[in-house]
Amino acid sequence: MRHINHTSWQFNKRCNLKYRAMFSSTLSRLAADHSVAAVLAALVICVAAGWLVVSLRERAESSKGPSCTQWLIGMATVAGLGVWTTHFMAMIGYRPDLPIGYGGQVTAASALIGILAVGLPLAATVLVRSAALRAALGGTAGLGIGAMHYTGMLALSGCLQTQKPGATLAAYGVGAALMALGSGSRRIASSPRLSSVTFTLAVCGAHFVSIAGTTLSPLPGPVGMPGANNVLGIFTAMGAAILLIGALMTIIAARRFEAQERAHSTILATALHNMSNGLVFIDGSGRLGLFNDRFVDMFGLAGAALHIGMRADEVIDFVSAAAGLETEHQRSAAGRIAERLEPFRLAPVDYVLPNGRTVEIDSNPIAKGGTVLTFNDVTAERAARNEISELAFNDPLTGLPNRRAFRERKLAAIAGDAPFFLLLIDLDRFKAVNDTFGHGVGDKLLVHAGRRILEVVGGSGFASRLGGDELGVFVYGDAQTAMEIAQGIVRTLSQPFVLGEVTASVGCSIGLCSGDGVATPDELMQRADVALYEAKRQGKGRVASYRPGLLEATAERHRLEADLREALHRRQFHLAYQPIMSLETGEITGYEALLRWDHPVRGSVSPAVFIPVAEETGLILEIGRWVLEEACREAASWPKGRHVAVNVSSVQFRSHLLPSHLTGALARSGLPAHRLEVELTETALVEDGPTIARALAEIRRLGVKVAMDDFGTGYSSLAHLCDFPLDRIKIDRSFVAAAQADPHAHAVIKAVVALGRDIGIPTLAEGIETVEQLELLRGLGCGAVQGYLIGRPARFLEDEKVGKLVLGSIFAA
């Protein structure tokens, strides 16, 4: 075994000595066959060409469009001519002992091959991103070096040339391998020095490896003077000149570009650091590549501590610590920023800093890798937006949501699944507050009313002002909850409002509607409106719930209103007169005018049906004016001792038009004022006592008499007899009908008759239908009576003897 190892060692030693000898021999032969000056000149040209190729490639990579194309053409030309010039510069000093010549056409063709086979593939590497494809193109350019060398060697003349195939293949391989390595490696391609060295080694390596396998021998015959062909010298000089000019132009262009880049960098830096937005660039490797002063100021950072090259997570931690974020917030912020470093675009997002400032964060991925983050302080903008939104959706007076917000809530409630109820609120007697105390007090009242409603509704409901004194409330839950809240609102708004030196009392009516089964917002509002109308019709200060049929009833009232207007226009009304008899004389002393309506389709419509509608719509003013004129005109033809009594609505009494209607009717008819008597119910007197008292006083100043109708059925108070100037008290028919069987009713009639006699106000009993009732009233001392026993209401007056016959039968009995 020891003998075998010794033998192997001796064999390897002999091989190494052999290869060393061959390599030494080759170098010696190359040194002997070449001029050192020419080789050094070729090396300088090759290094210069490599540097030019790298510079031109950088310019091409940073350019676009036609400019990029121009740089690529220059790069291909310089690369091809660099290889060609290096080859022939070395060939000028090759075998100076032989009279070598060169063919002009083949030499020129070799230059073209250098540009096409070496320059074009090398320029194409700029246009591709794949490392493998760049390596393939670089290898092709390396093979092109060998092709150019082979063609250049074909141009030799004046000698015999033999080449070893192995050396030729090795030359091709050296060029292809080195050029593939230089083009495919990102590290070498990104380093101008390494790229230049790789290019030089590829060109020189391919040339001298091939030359090492080449043998030149003189031709038989006389030997000429040694030296290079003048054509080769001219071509080589031209190539070197082109490379020199290219080098100078590249240096000038490089300096120019560097100056432009410095100017651009200065401008960009100035713009960058004077931006109103904070800016940060995170490169493709996840490190901080750029930031501006605004970013540092916005987050209160120390500029020295924040530096280029920091990892993204380090930047996030640094910013979070400077902003005073808690650990949980730091993780949340880190997650959001990490998401924005992904290579896809996200919508801007707002982030509120611990100091209350609002920052809008936007991200823009970069095509070559990395992300630009911008930070915009939008605190003032968001505050303005919120203020605009506040104005758009809130009532400026009460601070409650407005009609627009109410509409949005209404749409959401109908679209949702949760049960809800709508409360439509209208303040009662609000107009009187505005008229009496002014709109300033009215505005204060609305503000306080809104606060009271919010206290009742609580945080689970939604209250809004729809306009004027109308408010809307959404209540979520069951019907009992909605009704309790509605009644709570009625109670709280019925309490007096102390508004500075003024105390005002209003109240409210509420229409309540369930959202169950409602398909559209209009349907919901229609039902709530109908319920509110019903609450007001029932006497205000109450809650009315929508129920099936209520909408139809409201529609019927609307049709009745339209028919009333038509009746007024077409004079479908007429008056019926019921006689009034004095119990003292048995004479007919006057008639009460009763309004009747004969509808062409409905037939005779009761006043109990159409009078409330006329009062609600205001038509009662025009109807009442006609009644006064017609009654006065008719009464003017009666015997002078008889008067006419006309019922006047409380709506007419509250209107400033009543005095003018009275004077107009008396003037046109010629009826003396003392023969006209207006009747007003006790309930109407109580509704607005001071206003009614002033109206009564003005009426009596005209000479017209005033009677209190239906005394005892409303808010009866003896004070009314003292507060209001009256000329007659009318005892309601309900007491008359019950007087004989009910001692209480009998006592009331007796007390009213006695009171009227004592204070000097005559009394009149209504609803006398039997002789017994008449005898009772006469016995109690009542002044006058009316009823079916005395005479039914008739369009044309009956014989005046009716009263005498009735009274005579009583005396006879």
Per-residue confidence at 226, pLDDT binned at 50, 70, 90?
Answer: very low
Q: Give the lowest-confidence range in 29-38, 88-97, 641-650.
A: 29-38
Domain boundary residue among 509, 524, 547? 547
Query: Quick one: pLDDT at residue 131?
Result: 86
CATH number for the domain spanning 325: value is 3.30.450.20
Is residue 565 located within the same domain as residue 536? no
What confidence score (pLDDT) does residue 811 get? 46
What is the side-by-side strand order in the sheet with 420-427?
462-467, 470-476, 420-427, 508-514, 543-545
Which segments of 24-139 are extended strands (E)?
Answer: 101-102
Per residue in 699-728, pLDDT (tens digit) is: 889 999 999 887 766 555 565 666 677 889
Inform me whether the pLDDT recorded for 84 exceeds 60.
yes
* Side-chain-facing half-sphere of 150: CA atoms under 13 Å: 18
Q: Over 50: is that where the pLDDT of 4 sits?
A: no
Residue 258 counted as domain residue: no
pLDDT at 422 over 90: yes
Same-domain pairing of 802 and 774: yes
For residue 14, being part of any structural domain is answered with yes
- The answer to which of 204-213, 436-445, 561-570, 600-609 has the lowest mean pLDDT is 204-213
CATH number (domain holding residue 648): 3.20.20.450
The reply to whether 609 falls in a domain is yes
Domain around 491: 394-547
Cα(205)–Cα(209) distance, integer angstroms: 6
pLDDT at 225: 43
797 vs 527, residue with greater confidence = 527
Task: Report how far residue 441's alpha carbon sits from residue 812's, in angstroms, rounded to the nearest whole number.
Answer: 68
**Same domain as 214, residue 169:** yes
In the chain, the amino acid numbered 23 is: F
The answer, yes or no, to whether residue 783 has pLDDT greater than 90, is yes
Which tens digits make up the pLDDT trace of 140-177?
A: 988 988 888 888 888 887 788 888 888 888 888 988 89
pLDDT higher than threshold 50 for residue 224:
no
d(CA 47, CA 138): 18
Nearest to 398 by CA among 491, 466, 473: 466
Distance CA 741, CA 749 (A): 13
In a domain, 724, yes or no: yes
pLDDT score, position 497: 93
Q: Are residues 693 and 755 in the same domain?
A: yes
Same domain, yes or no: 311 and 448: no
| Domain boundary residue, one of 515, 547, 579 | 547
Angle of helix 36-61 versus helix 230-273 axis, rounded to 10: 30
- Residue 265: inside a domain, yes or no? no
What average pLDDT does the structure give for the chain? 81
Contact 403, 467 (CB under 8 A): yes
- Residue 552 domain-assigned (yes or no): no
263 found inside a domain:
no
The two tokens of residue 88 are 């022939």
The separation between CA 493 and the C-alpha centre of its own chain, rounded to angstroms, equals 36
Residues 156 and 286 in one domain: no
What is the enclosing helix (H) or strand (E) of 596? strand 588-599
CATH of the domain at 535: 3.30.70.270
**pLDDT grade, residue 195 (50/70/90)?**
confident
202 in any annotated domain: yes
Q: At 803, is the pLDDT very low, low, confident or very high (cuts 50, 70, 90)?
A: very low
Same domain, 576 and 665: yes
For residues 461 and 388, which has the higher predicted lDDT (pLDDT)? 461
Entry pTM: 0.49
Same domain, 62 and 76: yes
Q: What percent of the chain has pLDDT over 70?
A: 80
Q: What is the mean pLDDT of residues 393-411?
A: 89
- Together in a domain, 519 and 376: no
**Contact by Cβ (8 Å): 728, 762:** yes
Check residues 361 and 468 and name the one with the higher pLDDT.
468
User: Same domain, yes or no, for 629 and 533?
Assistant: no
What integer pLDDT is reported at residue 640 of this predicted model?
87
- pLDDT reading at 235 higher than 80: no
Residue 209 to residue 178: CA distance in whole angstroms: 13
680 pLDDT above the threshold of 80: yes
Which residues contact residue 429 at a Cβ distance below 8 angstroms, ignoring those fewer than 6 apart?
505, 506, 507
pLDDT (tens digit per residue) in 551-589: 788 788 889 889 999 998 888 999 999 999 999 999 999
Domains held by the chain: number = 5
Same domain, 312 and 358: yes
Residues assigned a catalytic role = 766
Which among 322, 347, 382 is the end of a domain? Answer: 382
pLDDT tens, residue by residue, 587-611: 999 999 999 999 998 899 999 889 9
* Sheet strand arrangement including 288-291: 288-291, 278-282, 371-377, 358-365, 349-352
Of 47-51, 73-77, 215-219, 267-271, least confident by mean pLDDT is: 267-271
pLDDT tens, 238-290?
Answer: 555 565 555 555 555 555 655 555 555 566 656 566 676 788 888 877 788 78
> Is there a single domain that holds both residue 684 and residue 562?
yes
Average pLDDT over residues 457-469: 90
Q: Quick: pLDDT tens for 615-635.
A: 888 899 999 999 999 999 999
Is 180 exposed, middle or buried, given 0-12, 13-18 or 19+ CB atoms closer than 10 A? buried
